[in-house]
Amino acid sequence: MSSLSHWLVVINPSAGKRRSHERSRAVLEGLTLNGHSFDLVNSSDRAESIALLQAYLASEREYRGVLVVGGDGTMHTVADKVWRSGQQLPIAMVPNGTGNDFARQLGLHGKDVKVLIDCFISTQPVDIDVLVMGDRLALQVVSTGLDALVSQRARRMPVLLGKSRYVLALFLQIINLSSTRYRLTVNGEIFELEATLVAIANGQNYGGGMLISPNSVNDDQRFEIIVVGPVGRLRLLLLFPRIYSGSHIHHPLVTSYGGEQIHIEADTIAEADGEPLFDEPLNHSIDASQLTVWRM
């Protein structure tokens, strides 16, 4: 176990609405009470936070790890910057967002701050898989087609709506429902198909607990590709609730593939972890990289 007791703490004060200040204070107090010190990134200005994070990562300071207090979007940004820095710094997360899908995958969701701090201090981090699409990083799911359009719309809605943003965005987006032509290459095998959405999953959840890929794990260097074929509005609305239990995976409109090497071509956009990846037609390979994190 590392003997280092100095952390880089990144707080998103805008995440989690009213809980943010309380949970952030509990994290800093928890570290201090355990004899640990920290450098702090805590700004509501995203550009300022990223610049400060990159400056700390480029310094010669030695850290036990990066501790993120925020939601999936904050974790996505921090993981991307750590990954790009080339450092093997492990990342810990105190979930404080509206979706917390990555935290669910790691077993951190719903845990008390003290329990989480004890875990980060007393246990070793582990290596997990992450998705790399072009030069972009994704932790949970790369969404394309309807999926990505709904995510894009939800991201622009007021944060106060919480997890209901995704459901509302879906109802608004299906007004203009259409399918997209895809060319998928999975482990060298080519599939040409028409689909409403294609999701490449490294984890089980997205959209605040929706079980898009109930069989996914993030340490097997294997991805699941979930395809929803062309579907009408009414049938899609009937299918949608099943995503919360994962039973949609058995629906005849849904096909799934597994693979380690994937290439996707389609005239649509891609999003991941509630963040934009590509706003232009896709022609990208998706590969596995690794990230070191704490999980329970």
CA distance 50 to 73: 13
- Domain positions in the chain are 6-124, 136-289
User: Cβ atoms within 10 A of the Cβ of 253, count?
Assistant: 15
**Mean pLDDT taken over the chain:** 92
pLDDT score at 16: 57
Tally of residues, the chain: 296
C-beta of residue 47 within 8 angstroms of C-beta of residue 36: no
Contact of 90 with 62, CB cutoff 8 Å: no
pLDDT (tens digit, 9 = 90+) per residue, 91-127?
Answer: 999 998 888 999 999 999 999 999 999 999 999 999 9
Tens of pLDDT, residues 152-175: 888 888 877 777 888 888 889 988
**Tens digit of each residue's pLDDT (9 = 90 or more) over 190-248:** 999 999 999 999 999 988 888 999 999 999 999 999 999 999 999 999 998 999 999 99
Rounded to whole angstroms, the Cα distance separating 118 from 98 reads: 24
pLDDT at site 162 = 73
Q: Minimum mean pLDDT among 14-23, 60-69, 104-113, 177-186: which range?
A: 14-23
CATH number of this structure's domain 136-289, picked from the four choices 2.60.200.40, 3.40.50.800, 3.40.50.360, 3.30.565.40: 2.60.200.40
Q: How many CB atoms lie within 10 A of CB 123?
A: 12
C-alpha 101: how far from chain center: 6
For the CA atoms of 174, 175, 178, 184, what is the dihedral angle to 10 degrees? -30
DSSP sequence for 207-275: TTTEES-TT--SSSS-EEEEEE-S--HHHHHHHGGGGGTTGGGGSTTEEEEEES-EEEEESS-EEETTE
Q: Report the DSSP pairing between strands 37-42 and 6-11.
A: parallel
Which architecture does CATH list for 6-124? 3-Layer(aba) Sandwich (3.40)
| Count helices and strands in the chain by DSSP H and E runs | 8, 18
CB atoms within 10 A of CB 37: 11
Residue 47 reports pLDDT greater than 70: yes
- Is residue 182 over pLDDT 90? yes
